Amino acid sequence: MRLSKNFRFTLFTLLYFSQGLVMSYFLTFNVLYLGEFGYTEGDIGIFQAVLIIPFLLKVFVGMLSDKINLFGMGHRKPYIMLGLFGQAVGLVLLANIQPVGDGLNTFVIFAFVVSISMVVYDTVTDGFAIEITPESEYGTVQGLMVGGRAAGILGLLLAGGWLAENIGWPALFYLSGIVTLLPFMLILRVREEQTELNRQPFQWSAFKAFGQGTVLLTAAMAFIYALSIDGINTFLSDYLRDDIGLSISAVGTLVAVAMVGRIVGALTSGWMADRIGHKQSLFAAVGLTSLACVGLSLNAGLTFITLSAFLFGLAYGYYTSIYNVVAMDHSDPRIAASMFSIFMMFLNLGTVGGQILGGTLTENIGFQNMVLALGAVNLLNIFIILRIFRKPI
């Protein structure tokens, strides 16, 4: 039995939407929340670093899911259920804990529970998507997943501030926890043992695939694209505020515009990838990113900056979605979740490298020149794409 297309698309979109909500909280609102209790930027930085630790364990979560049928319910469903439940419970408990005095340790523990819960269902969802999605729909499903995550980030950005200011911080935690349970209702309906899967028994020998040239190049492409685009994204808000002189409100509006662009880019990428092919879609992603870099390097007035922010978001969503499609192409069905998580590890390393390199370049040559420099680094992926697609996938 194959799950219906609409059911699959809705399930994966909601799973990533839920992830986007939590990412939005930890990347934006957690800093503001802890700041209200008098914590310094250094203190908050340490706290944020603790929350990153589970992301370093994604490959082990993937291997566990690939290898172990949990509770006899399958290799994917029970892990996703546990992750969603842990995330929802953790968020609700955080609403009732103030991070001061003895409450700080408790707050850190439950925030860590939320983080690791998200990592569990995120990692396993990727493997499940590979197994139940026909190859002809890879582009569409990745577009919906990446777009769903961006929509979750944008949704909490728009609603979270109002909730915190007018109702109180607990409302933000409760809302996020409740919305997390939306995909839980869908995953309950899945009968993994009765579902048609593109899955093969777990084999350690499958990891030898990382000795293949195309697989290594696919990992390298992730590192380069993330280094380029996340290096720029990290410092965009500071540039708009400090160099362009925009107010915090105006910066927030432009960030929202870029996020809308990210949603459009993700959805467009899925549609394009399933029609023009993955190679041409990757070239389009590189081209869009290059145009966005040139646009951001020019200070030609607020209207032009707004259009450039939208184009950058479009390129970000498009690039992320089509790269994930190619990572799905190269993920061995014997270790689907493990292999995809390793590709994401290289992507995360690129993000960290981009933040370091982007900061160094911005300090020494300015944001506008940094954008052009990282845009040039991104062009290296043209040569990688040509090598990967020398033969049809």
pLDDT in tens, 14-29: 999 999 988 888 877 7
- Interatomic CA distance for residues 270 and 268, integer angstroms: 5
At the top level of CATH, which class does the domain 206-388 belong to? mainly alpha
Least confident of 47-51, 243-247, 349-353: 47-51
pLDDT in tens, 51-98: 778 877 888 888 888 888 888 888 889 999 999 999 999 999 998 888
pLDDT in tens, 293-306: 999 888 778 888 88
Residue 364 has pLDDT above 70, yes or no: yes
- Interatomic CA distance for residues 323 and 347, integer angstroms: 10
Q: Which residues neighbour 89 within 8 Å (Cβ) at sequence distance 6 or greater? A: 113, 177
Residue % of the chain over a pLDDT of 90: 26
Residue 392 has pLDDT above 70, yes or no: no
Mean pLDDT of 227-250: 80
- Cβ atoms of 286 and 385 closer than 8 Å: yes
276, two tokens = 């023009």
Estimate to the nearest angstrom the gap between the alpha carbon of 50 and the chain centroid.
18
pLDDT in tens, 278-295: 889 999 999 999 999 999
Mean pLDDT of 237-263: 81
- Interatomic CA distance for residues 200 and 194, integer angstroms: 15
pLDDT value at position 143?
A: 87
Burial string for 176-213 (b: 16+ CB within 10 Å, else e) reads: bbebbeebbebbeebebeebebebeebeeebeebeeee
Q: Which residues neighbour 27 within 8 Å (Cβ) at sequence distance 6 or greater? A: 153
Helix orientation angle between 302-329 and 278-296, rounded to the nearest 10 degrees: 150
pLDDT grade for 393, boundaries at 50, 70 and 90: very low
212, two tokens = 């293949």
Give the residue extent of every domain in the chain: 5-199, 206-388
pLDDT in tens, 105-145: 888 889 899 999 999 999 999 888 888 888 888 888 888 89
Average pLDDT, the chain: 85
- Cβ atoms of 116 and 54 closer than 8 Å: yes
Nearest one of 386, 393, 253 to 325, comparing CA atoms: 393
- Cβ atoms of 339 and 202 closer than 8 Å: no
Provide the total of helices (H) and of strands (E) in the chain, helices listed first: 16, 0
Domain 5-199 and domain 206-388 have a common topology = yes
pLDDT grade for 195, boundaries at 50, 70 and 90: low
Q: Is pTM beyond 0.85 here?
A: no
CATH number of the domain at 5-199, out of 1.20.1250.20, 1.25.40.10, 1.10.760.10, 3.30.70.360? 1.20.1250.20
Q: What are phi and psi of 297, to 5 degrees?
A: -80, -10
Q: What are phi and psi of 142, to 5 degrees?
A: -70, -35
DSSP 274-315: HHH-HHHHHHHHHHHHHHHHHHHT----HHHHHHHHHHHHHH
